[in-house]
Amino acid sequence: MIKPHGSEELTPKIVNTDEEKESLLKAAESMKKLKVTSAAAANLVMLGAGYFTPLDGFMNKDDLLSVADNMCLKSGLFWPTPVVNISNQEIKFEEGEEIAIIDPNVDGEKILAIQKIDKIEKLEQSEIDDVVEKVYGTKDQSHPGVKTFYDQGKTLLSGSVKVLNFSYFEIDFKDTFRTAMQIRASIESKGWKNVVAFQTRNPMHRAHEELCRMAGERVSADGILIHMLLGKLKPGDIPADVRDTAIRTMVEHYFPENYVMITGYGFDMLYAGPREALLHAVFRQNCGCSYLIVGRDHAGVGDFYGAFDAQDIFDSIPDDALLIKIFKADHTAYSKKLNKVVMMRDVEDHTKEDFVLLSGTKVREMLSKGESLPKEFARPEVAEVLMKHYMKG
């Protein structure tokens, strides 16, 4: 199986034994507490679950600026996006101190992790602007990822972490949330060597279904990992539980048995387009996948990125930056000429009128009115799941 990023083995920051967890929770009673942002909490879940191997914790200013400028830590390790704990609160602890991190997404002031504070550094507004511009490609706060980053604050708290739990993810999504360790173990138990990962924050329509099938066939994959984001999204996106049901329904009806693994991960969407596509590749490599499907406007939002910017960025990184390869996908749609889903680049004789194309807005409008989606666009079983959600709303 493919090796993890920058390491021979995964380096999860989760505390594994009940004994150590109880000891840390006891020690935390006398520690100073800090309730972090949802973004920082999501980073902790990813660190705990091994997805962010080989990182040890939150980045300091030097590493943050290096990641923004060069897509690598000061050590030279390739890394495309910030993994930071930034606060706008009054800081009442000192460098060298251990603090208890409070989960912002769970009631009851629950402790999510223990952080050793290596450095407390102030970020200048110009430095924040520079990071945002380079990571997101814009400083426009109508971009949801940009707004989230600006809203975090200016005090950077770096240092190693010990993660105590996986927040709400392992409770709310117990059948779907999986760590990188669990996914690797499942792949190994199945005897799969060549695995294609498909990233999604949306329900899967027929185009997505066929894209997974095409990619699997073209790279002779042993199996497909459908890996859905379970964390915070922007308003209007389909909730994770509805997506989960829709995807499971599609796989059950339309894929061979034991060919698809349906899993999810606990992270908030960045909407960082090309940079986030690189991050997706990093943690799919950590899951043991050989390929990641990168499609049109992967991890994008609005009109902030070009259709294939997320593919092109892979051509700009060093050859040895990642072991995982990408499967470059074009826009997929149902061809009325051929009576099947195709990648548009493969059918040069087609015009726009030869495809069944629906915008996201049109889909939501039809579903909210109780109208059936065309069978060429969505499987009827999947459309029914989505319609129930929209009619309920």
Instruction: Give pLDDT, residue 81.
Output: 98
CB-CB neighbours of 393 under 10 Å: 10
Task: Tell me: cis bond preceding 54? Omega within 30 of 0 counts.
Answer: yes
Helix (H, G, I), strand (E, B) or coil at 182: helix
Answer yes or no: do 267 and 377 share one domain: yes
For the record, the structure tokens of 313 come out as 């960025």
Q: Which residues are catalytic?
A: 201-202
Q: In 11-87, which ranges are continuous DSSP H helix?
A: 18-28, 38-48, 61-70
- Asked if the structure places residue 2 within a domain, the reply is no
Give me the CATH number covering residue 57: 3.10.400.10
Of 143, 170, 197, which one is at a domain's C-terminal end?
A: 170
155-163/355-356 β-pairing: unpaired
Of 100, 135, 170, which one is at a domain's C-terminal end?
A: 170
- Asked if the structure places residue 3 within a domain, the reply is no
Answer yes or no: do 146 and 192 share one domain: no
291-294/195-200 β-pairing: parallel
- Asked if the structure places residue 12 within a domain, the reply is no
- Asked if the structure places residue 289 within a domain, the reply is yes
Answer yes or no: do 200 and 144 share one domain: no
Q: In the chain, which ranges are continuous DSSP H helix?
A: 18-28, 38-48, 61-70, 125-136, 144-151, 169-172, 180-190, 206-218, 240-254, 274-287, 309-312, 360-368, 380-392
CB-CB neighbours of 302 under 10 Å: 13
Integer angstrom CA distances of residue 278 from 204, 217, 272: 22, 23, 10
Structural domain boundaries enclosing 56: 18-170
Walk along the chain (393 residues) and give the pLDDT tens digit of each residue.
999 999 999 999 999 999 999 999 999 999 999 999 999 999 999 999 999 999 999 999 999 999 999 999 999 999 999 999 999 999 999 999 999 999 999 999 999 999 999 999 999 999 999 999 999 999 999 999 999 999 999 999 999 999 999 999 999 999 999 999 999 999 999 999 999 999 998 888 898 999 999 999 999 999 999 999 999 877 777 888 999 999 999 999 999 999 999 999 999 999 999 999 999 999 999 999 999 999 988 999 999 999 999 999 999 999 999 999 999 998 888 999 999 999 888 999 999 899 988 766 788 788 888 888 889 899 999 999 999 888 876
Answer yes or no: do 178 and 137 share one domain: no
Give me the CATH number covering residue 179: 3.40.50.620
Answer yes or no: do 281 and 359 share one domain: yes
For the record, the structure tokens of 344 come out as 């548009």
Q: Left if phi > 0, otherwise alpha if psi is -120 to 50, otherwise beta: which for 374?
A: beta
- The pLDDT > 70 percentage for the chain reads 99
- Asked if the structure places residue 255 within a domain, the reply is yes
- Asked if the structure places residue 4 within a domain, the reply is no
Edge-to-edge strand list for the sheet holding 291-294: 260-265, 223-229, 195-200, 291-294, 325-328
Answer yes or no: do 23 and 83 share one domain: yes
What's the domain count of the chain? 2
What residue type is assigned to position 238 of the chain?
I
Answer yes or no: do 166 and 50 share one domain: yes
If we measure between CA atoms, which residue out of 251, 226, 164, 185 comes closest to residue 10?
185
Of 170, 201, 232, which one is at a domain's C-terminal end?
A: 170
pTM for the whole structure:
0.95
- Tens-place pLDDT, residues 17-26: 999 999 999 9
For the record, the structure tokens of 100 come out as 């208890």
Answer yes or no: do 154 and 183 share one domain: no
Rg (Cα) of the chain, in Å, rounded? Answer: 21
Answer yes or no: do 165 and 179 share one domain: no
| Average pLDDT of every residue of the chain | 94
- CA 178, CA 186: separation in Å to the nearest integer? 10
Do 64 and 131 contact (CB within 8 A), yes or no?
Answer: yes
If we measure between CA atoms, which residue out of 99, 90, 117 comes closest to residue 30?
99
- Asked if the structure places residue 157 within a domain, the reply is yes
Answer yes or no: do 186 and 95 share one domain: no
C-alpha 336 chain-centroid distance = 34
Answer yes or no: do 248 and 363 share one domain: yes
End-to-end CA distance of the chain: 44
Answer yes or no: do 254 and 271 share one domain: yes
- CA 244, CA 224: separation in Å to the nearest integer? 16
Cβ neighbors of 29 (< 8 A, separation 6 or more) are: none
- Asked if the structure places residue 345 within a domain, the reply is yes
